[in-house]
Amino acid sequence: MSRLPSHLQKLPLNKLAIPGSHNSFSYSLDPHSQVAPDQSREIHAVVHMFGAPGRDVIYRWSMTQNLTAEQQLNSGIRYFDIRISRESSSGKVCFIHGLYGADVIPCLEDIKKFLDNHPKEVVILDFNHLYEMGTEHHSSLLHTITEIFGSKLCPYLNMECLTLEMMWGSELQVIILYHNEIVSDNPFFWPGSSIGSPYVNTSDIPQLLSFLDKHKKENDAKERFFCWQGVLTPSAQTIISHFAKSLKEVLAGKLAPFFVTWVKNGKSVNCKHGIFMMDFVEMADFIPSVIDLNY
């Protein structure tokens, strides 16, 4: 964001094109962990029955990113899609997607280090799926986030005021979206209603692109962010039919060039702002294609 021309620095952030990653921290999933609470009872039963081979299947179909958070940041990702759960045995809050991943806190500290070294970069951290957490767990995590980012945290503002020019002038670098009502009285966290992120549960590329086309007018809302999800979701039949393969091989790798073409076409159909996210963000020149929408 630091390289954007001066006229874009005066626009609200939701009028810029921002590269994002889907299930941003799934690169950290532990293939030997327990099944995470975002999975159905049936999946838990299957893994209980088959053990390690069952977890291996979940791992291959749940990992959506290869790049670490630091690598994503250095590549240009500025929106992080975050799913977390408290791990019952350790009490730690961990990233999840099918299985448990890394402890959240060290990863946030890594993001803080990047921001310290790049004072004109801004990130959006969207905590949108929160499992196995009571009020005290949320409060503890929010307190820790506040301690880590401190004065970098951008308070909940009118979107029209949220420009790079304003954030740089105030030395603000972090916007935290937190999808739980506990933040309603905390001015430094943005509620889940601050972002629209329509999702279609499909493994079919034409159906996904048609769905995105139907939502083109929604990203004109002045008061919130909007996220374009270039993401395919495997059905049980998809996984069974490609049992020895992975999400990247069967779905994400095939979608990437089509989604990136759709992104590029946004320039000609007035659909060139918002957050754009997909799996395996290093594929198909996704990140530079999103950034180019700003020019």
The residue type of 228 is W
Query: How far apart, in whole angstroms, are the C-alpha atoms of residue 201 and residue 204?
Result: 9
Of 22, 44, 48, 215, which one is the catalytic site residue?
A: 22
Query: How far apart, in whole angstroms, are the C-alpha atoms of residue 152 and residue 176?
Result: 11
Burial (CB < 10 A; 0-12, 13-18, 19+), residue 55, is buried
Examine the residue annotation and report whether 22 is marked as an active-site residue of this protein: yes
Structural contact between residues 154 and 172, judged by C-beta atoms closer than 8 angstroms: yes
Of 7, 97, 137, 143, which one is the catalytic site residue?
A: 97
Radius of gyration of the chain (CA): 19
Examine the residue annotation and report whether 242 is marked as an active-site residue of this protein: no
Residue 180: strand, helix, or coil = coil
Query: How far apart, in whole angstroms, are the C-alpha atoms of residue 255 and residue 139?
Result: 39
Instruction: Tally helices (H) and strands (E) across the chain.
Output: 11, 10
Torsion of CA 118, 225, 280, 57, to 10 degrees: 130
Catalytic residue numbers read 22, 97
